Amino acid sequence: MFSIHDEEAIKKFFSWQKIPLFRYAQIENALYKNFVFDFEAMQTIPKTLREQLIENFFFFSLTCYEKISSENGQTTKILFKTSDGFFVESVIMRHLTGRNTLCISCQAGCAMGCSFCATGKLGLQRNLTFYEIVEQVMFAAKLLNEEGVILRNVVYMGMGEPFLNYENVKKSIQIICEQKKLNLANRRVTVSSCGIIPWIQAFMNDFSQTSLAISLHAPNDEVRNMMMSVNKKYPLADLMQTLLEYEKKTNKRIFYEYIMIQWVNDSLALATELAQLLEWRLAHVNFIPYNSWEGRGGTYKAPSRIIIENFQRTLEKYGIPSTIRATMGDDIDAACWQLARKKGEEEKE
Ligand code: SF4
């Protein structure tokens, strides 16, 4: 069986069965434009072909294990189970401005082990295939479509490090942005990395229009080494040099993610260091107040709002734009991939 998103497999099958290619255009239209996830319901396709398709292709390998929405309805978390028993999450965020964003996962677990991250605690379970990534997008796009809303923004900021599953991430972006398919604007798709330098270089060559976010979280090696082991392999100076090349090549603003943790990376001295690091850069900083999760919650805490605002003001003085991200969905454990971690650990026991 092959995924319906595997265009190469479908086209091979069509050529082998001598089925005209316009039939594929009909499937694409039903699937990506009208969210029909059932061959039987594709009435423009002859019955015999529908039967052949049912025997050979599937729409979803992931199953929706749980779907919960926050009390205010702004956030919906979808917990998926892979066919081999791993849990991954996607989160839909409906912003008050009317914008909506889907955050998706690209790996089950993650090898990077960042000290503040629930997913890192699981270790890497496995890479997701391109179609498992696309399925998350299709599921959410249909859900929003039923609410009369079009999915506009997708961020690869869920479980996993996208650049350690580059080929599958690449193929999934190509599918969701293809005009005949979901037709998402490239600039509205954001890939977030903790800073794997060789793959940032590959990304800038492959996707000059797609947005890049960097999990920075600290403005010097000392603090960053403590929080993110990736920094030992790819130190900050080398990362910033690569990002300068990215800016020059793409002329695009980079989003820097900065998780705010009390007494770890929230001092005004670090704010000044951060401002000096990003001054004259095409940069936008997103401050993310730390979201505690069981296991680490005792040692890490979010700073007060005043501390975060003072930090932000320091950046303002240097002309660096920033946003304090509203914590969405913490009532449903959506913000830090806690539920998938919990489920993953429960299954291991
Ligand atoms: S923050 Fe990102 S890169 Fe770090 S462990 Fe978590 S998922 Fe992996």
Q: How far is the CA of 1 from the centre of ligand 1 (A)?
A: 32
Are residues 223 and 294 both part of a single domain? yes
- pTM (predicted TM-score): 0.94
Of all residues in the chain, the percent with pLDDT exceeding 70 is 92
Instruction: Give start and end residues of each alpha helix (H) in the chain.
Output: 7-17, 22-28, 47-56, 118-122, 130-146, 166-177, 197-206, 221-227, 230-233, 236-250, 268-278, 305-317, 338-348
203 CA to centre of ligand 1 in angstroms: 18
**CB under 6 Å to ligand 1: residues?**
110, 112-114, 117, 119-120, 159-161, 194, 215
What tokens were used for 232? 């030992």
Higher model confidence: residue 73 or residue 258? 258
Is the pLDDT at 13 greater than 80, yes or no? yes
pLDDT digits (tens, 9 = 90+) for 181-227: 999 999 999 999 999 999 999 999 999 999 999 999 999 999 999 99
Q: What DSSP letter does each residue of 247-293 carry, written as one string?
A: HHHH--PEEEEEEE-TTTS--HHHHHHHHHHHTTSSEEEEEEE----
Cα(111) to centroid(ligand 1), Å: 8
The number of residues in the chain equals: 349
Q: What is the pLDDT of residue 347?
A: 60
Looking at residue 329, its pLDDT comes to: 60
Q: Which atom of ligand 1 has the smallest separation from the CA of 119?
A: 6
Cα–Cα dist 347/223, whole Å:
34
Which residues make beta-bridge pairs with 111? none
Judgement on whether residues 27 and 73 belong to the same structural domain of the protein: no
Taking the centre of ligand 1 as the mean of its atom positions, its distance from the CA of residue 334, in whole angstroms, is: 15
Q: In this structure, are 50 and 197 located in the same domain?
A: no
> In the listed set 40, 58, 76, which residue is the last one of a domain according to the structure?
58
Q: Mark whether 330 and 343 lie in a shared domain.
A: yes
Segment 163-180 mean pLDDT: 98
pLDDT (0 to 100) of residue 297: 47
Give me the pLDDT at residue 98, please.
83
Q: Which two tokens stand for residue 148?
A: 């009369």
Longest alpha-carbon distance in the chain: 69
If phi > 0 it is left, if psi is from -120 to 50 it is alpha, else beta; for residue 195 that is left
Q: Which residues pair with 100 in a beta bridge?
A: 94
Based on the domain organization, do 158 and 276 belong to the same domain?
Answer: yes
Q: How many structural domains comprise the chain?
A: 2
Residue from 90, 91, 115, 117 to probe ligand 1 pocket by mutation (most atoms less than 8 Å from CB) = 117
pLDDT tens-digit profile of 114-141?
A: 999 988 888 999 999 999 999 999 999 9
CATH number for position 340: 3.20.20.70
Task: State how far the Cα of 312 lies from the Cα of 257, in Å rounded to an integer.
Answer: 13
- Residue 193 alpha carbon, nearest atom of ligand 1: 3
Question: Two tokens at 330?
Answer: 């913490």
Structural domain that includes position 41: 2-58
- Cα(159) to ligand 1 centroid in Å equals 7
> Mean pLDDT throughout 249-267?
97
Cα gap 259→298, rounded to integer Å: 17
Q: Are 29 and 79 members of one domain?
A: no
Average pLDDT over residues 268-286: 98
Q: Do both 10 and 116 map to the same domain?
A: no
∠ CA 59-60-61, rounded to 5°: 135
Q: Ligand 1 atom 4: the closest Cα is on which residue?
A: 114
Segment 288-344, tens digit of pLDDT:
999 876 554 458 999 999 999 999 999 999 999 999 987 666 666 555 555 566 666
Q: Which of 7, 89, 132, 161 is catalytic?
A: 89
Mean pLDDT value across residues 152-165? 97
Pocket test for ligand 1, best of 194, 234, 265 (most atoms within 8 A of CB): 194
* Greater pLDDT, 347 or 238: 238
What does the pLDDT average to over 7-13?
96
* Domain boundary, last residue among 37, 58, 79: 58
Asked whether the predicted pLDDT for residue 232 surpasses 90, the reply is yes
Q: What per-residue confidence (pLDDT) applies to 291?
A: 83
Neighbours of 316 (CB within 10 A): 12
Which is the closest atom of ligand 1 to the Cα of 120? 5
167: annotated active-site residue: no
Annotated catalytic residue within 103, 106, 110, 336: 336
CATH (domain of 37): 1.10.150
> Is 309 a known active-site residue?
no
pLDDT value at position 345?
61
Angle (CA) 108 109 114, round 5°: 150
Both 82 and 181 in one domain: the answer is: yes
